[in-house]
Amino acid sequence: MSSTQEYIRNFCIIAHIDHGKSTLADRMIEKTGSVASRDMREQFLDNMDIERERGITIKLQTTRMKYKAKDGQEYIFNLIDTPGHVDFNYEVSRSLAACEGAILVVDATQGVEAQTLANVYLAMEENLEIVPVINKIDLASARIEEVKNEIEEILGIDTENAPLISAKEGLNIEDVLEAIAKYIPAPKGDKSAPLKALIFDSFYDNYKGVTVYCRIMDGSVKKGDRIKMMATKKTYEVTETGYFIPAPTSVDKLDTGSVGYLTASIKQISDARVGDTITLADNPTKEPLKGYKKVIPMVYCGIYPAEGEKYENVRDALEKLQVNDAAFVFEAETSVALGFGFRCGFLGLLHMEIIQERLEREFDLSIIATSPSVIYKVTKTDGTVELIQNPTNLPPVSEISFIEEPIVKANIMVPNMYVGSIMELCQERRGIMHNMEYIDENRVILHYDMPLNEVIYDFFDALKSKTKGYGSLDYELKGYSKSNLVKLDVLLNKELVDAFSMIVHESKAQSRGKFVCEKLKEVIPRHMFAIPIQASIGTKVIARETVKPMRKDVLAKCYGGDISRKKKLLEKQKEGKKRMRQFGQVEVPQEAFTAVLKYDDKK
Amino acid sequence: MMIRNKDNLGIYVHIPYCQQKCHYCDFLSFDGCDESEYESYALALVKEIGMAKDSFSNHKVDTIFIGGGTPSIFPLPLMQKIVQALYESFNLDKDAEFTIESNPKTLSYDKIRGYKDLGINRISLGVQSLEEKTLALLGRIHDEKDVYENVNQIRRAGFTNLNLDIMFAIPNQRVSSLMDTLEKVVRLGPEHVSFYSLILEENTKMHTMFQSGIIQEIDEDTDREMYWRGIRYLEDNHFGHYEISNLACPHKECQHNLKYWSFEDYLGFGLGAHSFIDGKRFSNETNLNHYLENAENNRSQVLWQHQNTEEDNISEYIFTGLRKRAGLCMIDFENLFKISIDRIFGKEINRLIKDRLLLIEGEKIKLTEKGIDLSNRVMSEFILDK
């Protein structure tokens, strides 16, 4: 591969969910002949099932393409795909840092969305050249001019030369390729300087260990080089360098400005952290690249093996997931109610859901996840500060001086007509409004400060439900704030079930307690005795429901000697019992744990 | 595995026709059919019975139960053909219990007399209630007077073993109206009473009425009050409560039904009929046209079969046995399965005893009254994993 730095173009695609990022990427790969179209799967870049189902990209994929432009030159295009969700903001920012430009894909029928805004601002912070592209122009509901105006007004990006395309129909894809060659600058960087490379992603496989995705900023790297990770200080010998075309293809070396991968017998993903700088161990660069930070989980929950599932299986699966996900943390914990399990930390709610789903689908495990929690800062009367992410560990009230909770800056974009009900929702979730911006005559962005613990319960579901799916949300941590928080406990048949405990604001305790009791009453089957369900703060019961005792469970008729029918019924009954968790005398179905978290439309 | 009474056999014959489908009924039965259809079915039955002839030549048949549907809807000559086929194919014990199920208004003195001549010695009459309003709600074709008339005819024909089916927990029924019915039942003086609660089954007229709010289900507390008051009243009037839903005067317990609860062999003929022979359960074709075609082409009617594992046998032995008020004998269990019931279910039994659902009396293990109310819960504890 003998292209000089001058003809390399490193870029990413920014788009809202469903606006056509993956389809456009597929078309570009197809058009430049990197993959024969018969080998293409739908949406080549999204390779995880969950991502496909949700139509969002979480894990990055990178592709190198060759393009012969109208000016007669052959260009090297490195497409660096970015995740599309707020939970993965940091990963997004690091892949942006590997680029000189970004293609902004906007759906001609939808216009600019909150998620797009957040990522465009990130790209602007990295000084990327932004090339707007209007997609889905083939649809009858496309409003090209309006959307162009929107981009200019809200984002201040000139749309005069914006390609108008339909990624789905393969319309005007060439315009996009030309725009990349023409408008996105070539990578800078000093060939003769010591190696300086940015890690923007990595994955693990059993044979090669960790494969590091990197962008060479200065110098070059080849097989046999001894490299050093500047943040973790670890050194390795490079065993392979290569490009993704999009399949990994090894090359002799990676030069300044290029994007590729290297392997170096690295055992864990946490040893090659996203954002870290790679340099040569013997001839290091002076300064690491800016912007590295260790990602910190914001949301925690307990994950326990469900009845009949082995603890070891869950642990093995969590370990496997962690190898490929430096942002995911876990440690062993024990619950009185659920036995041995794990406390797991996630970047956000989506990240949590993805991990839970992968455990169930990819690893075929049956798990119970407890209520998500944020990290509270508890200042005790003796002046010490404890960080609490499991409600069970909250010190007794008498030892607490005050508690602080994380607050996020939330940007909520909604169609005009829903502003009232969303403001009501935010207020109900203890949000403090800063201001409201009109994007156009139809849409508004609401800027709120909100406690993260209100966001993680069911806020997103409520937002979607109240806006018929049109509302979008993005948030970032703002800081901590003192708050009047209490621990809400749930007692079944007078016995505390720690797995249901949660930390809530005092003003919400009553309604939350009532909701939980009502939900549990719905899902807990009747027993031979009455079961009181109580929600309490300390010793004070604030809500109560009762599951009435079962008086009759008998099948009188056995028709014509049909024993098998009766046996099936009894087998079903026994099977149902197996899926129950035993808390003292009370049997609770697994779904109780999710039922108390679900947003209820009727409420 | 050793099966008790290996040489004895019960026979069930299914007649899937009724004059009119009752509002609560989800059984395998058809209404609105004519006599020519009855005849084709009877011929198919005769053929099926004939085909079994050689396989059971060593067995002694000690119970026959012709059930339905409404077997008494068949003209007598058709019933004669069916019974004749049974006599030709099986060795009938001279003391065999021979029952026919019937419904009021489909019986006549001549028909009943004819049954007697055929060797039938027990009649089961579907009374359900002796209250006009309740009978109408159930969609029964008869009234109170029809019952009295048929009972008189049955007695006049010389039957000394009569069962009346009585239902409770019928929507709108009060405890007092049930007790009225039971008083009348006692005055009618049957030897046997089947006493069971109405179950709202899907795809029935009554279920539709329930869904549209026309009728309401009887609440569980009332259901149990009806059950226990009914049982006590009948017990006070010399009926023995020998099985969850059955009571009888001394020595008049239904021998055929007891086979179901005592793990004994029975062979079923007719549409959808079930059999249990030598630890194998099997059942017949349930589609009437297929059933008739099979008969025409001399094909087997068996649609489903399952060879019980030892686990199946143990579970079934216990959950069927517990339906009997006398319970099941732990010594019999051990003789049969070569392992004590305690070894397998000690933990479950102790818990159920502690919860007052089971009790042990001498060698017998049985349901308490509370255990009867929650019998599915108790029985499901004895299902073994496959």
Chain B nearest-CA distance from A563, in A, is 8
**Chain B residue set in contact with A, beta carbons under 8 Å:** 12, 14, 27, 67, 196-197, 199, 220-221, 223-224, 244-245, 259-260, 266, 268, 272-276, 281, 283, 306, 312, 315-316, 319-320, 323, 355, 357, 370, 372-377, 379-381, 383
Element (H, E) at A565: helix A563-578
Which of A585, A557, A584, A582 lies closest to A569, judged by CA? A557
Report the alpha-carbon distance of residue A17 to residue A516 in Å, rounded. Answer: 33
Using CB atoms, pick whichever of A556, A560, A573 lies closest to residue B12.
A560
Tell me the chain B residues in contact with residue A563 when contact means C-beta distances shorter than 8 Å. 260, 274, 276, 281, 316, 320
Chain A nearest-CA distance from B68, in A, is 9
Q: What is the pLDDT of residue A18?
A: 65
Q: What is the pLDDT of residue A194?
A: 95
Q: Per-residue pLDDT for chain B (386 aa), expressed as one digit of tens each?
A: 444 456 899 999 999 999 999 999 988 899 989 999 999 999 999 999 999 998 998 899 999 999 999 999 999 999 999 999 999 999 999 999 999 999 999 999 999 999 999 999 999 999 999 999 999 999 999 999 999 999 999 999 999 999 999 999 999 999 999 999 999 999 999 999 999 999 888 889 999 999 999 999 999 999 999 999 999 999 999 999 999 999 999 999 999 999 999 999 999 999 999 999 999 999 999 999 999 999 999 999 999 999 999 999 999 999 999 999 999 999 999 999 999 999 999 999 999 999 999 999 999 999 999 999 999 999 999 999 76
Report the alpha-carbon distance of residue A538 to residue A541 in Å, rounded. Answer: 8
Report the alpha-carbon distance of residue B28 to residue B68 in Å, rounded. Answer: 8
Q: Are B240 and B232 in contact (CB under 8 A)?
A: no
User: What is the pTM (predicted TM-score) of this model?
Assistant: 0.67
Cβ-defined contact of A556 to B381 (cutoff 8 Å): no
Whether the CB of A387 is below 8 Å from some CB of chain B: the reply is no
Q: What is the largest CA-CA distance in chain A?
A: 92
Q: What is the pLDDT averaged over residues A197-224?
A: 90
Report the alpha-carbon distance of residue B193 to residue A556 in Å, rounded. Answer: 14
Q: Are B8 and B265 in contact (CB under 8 A)?
A: yes
Tell me the chain B residues in contact with residue A571 when contact means C-beta distances shorter than 8 Å. 380, 383
Question: Facing residues of B10 across strands?
Answer: B63, B266
Report the alpha-carbon distance of residue A165 to residue A143 in Å, rounded. Answer: 13
Q: What is the CA radius of gyration of chain A?
A: 27
Cβ-defined contact of B380 to A555 (cutoff 8 Å): no
Q: What is the CA radius of gyration of chain B?
A: 21
Comparing A43-57, A212-226, A541-555, the range with the smallest average pLDDT is A43-57
Give residues with Cβ within 8 angstroms of A233, minimum separation 6.
Answer: none
Chain B nearest-CA distance from A558, in A, is 9
A315: left (phi over 0), alpha (psi -120 to 50) or beta: alpha
Chain A nearest-CA distance from B306, in A, is 10
Cβ-defined contact of A555 to B199 (cutoff 8 Å): yes
Report the alpha-carbon distance of residue A557 to residue B198 in Å, rounded. Answer: 9
What does DSSP assign to residue A526?
P
Tell me the chain A residues in contact with residue B376 when contact means C-beta distances shorter than 8 Å. 553-555, 569-570, 573
Q: Are A306 and A578 in contact (CB under 8 A)?
A: no
ipTM: 0.90
Count of H-run helices and E-run strands, chain B: 15, 17
Which of A490, A483, A489 lies closest to A450, judged by CA? A483
Report the alpha-carbon distance of residue B242 to residue B327 in Å, rounded. Answer: 9
Q: What is the pLDDT of residue A361?
A: 83
Report the alpha-carbon distance of residue A46 to residue A26 in Å, rounded. Answer: 10
> Alpha carbon of A459 to those of A84, A211, A348, A379, A411: distances in Å?
19, 37, 13, 28, 13
User: ∠A38-A42-A43 over CA atoms, to 5°?
Assistant: 120
Which of B116, B122, B372 lies closest to B223, judged by CA? B372
b/e code A540-573 from CB counts within 10 Å (16+ = b): eebbebebeebbbbbbbbbebbbbbebbeebbeb
Cβ-defined contact of B380 to A577 (cutoff 8 Å): yes
Residue written as tokens 């807990």? A524
Q: What is the pLDDT of residue A103?
A: 94
Cβ-defined contact of A574 to B380 (cutoff 8 Å): yes
Q: Which two tokens stand for residue A92?
A: 């997004």
Q: Which of A307, A547, A553, A554 to mutate to test the interface with B (most CBs of B within 10 A)?
A: A554
Whether the CB of A558 is below 8 Å from some CB of chain B: the reply is yes
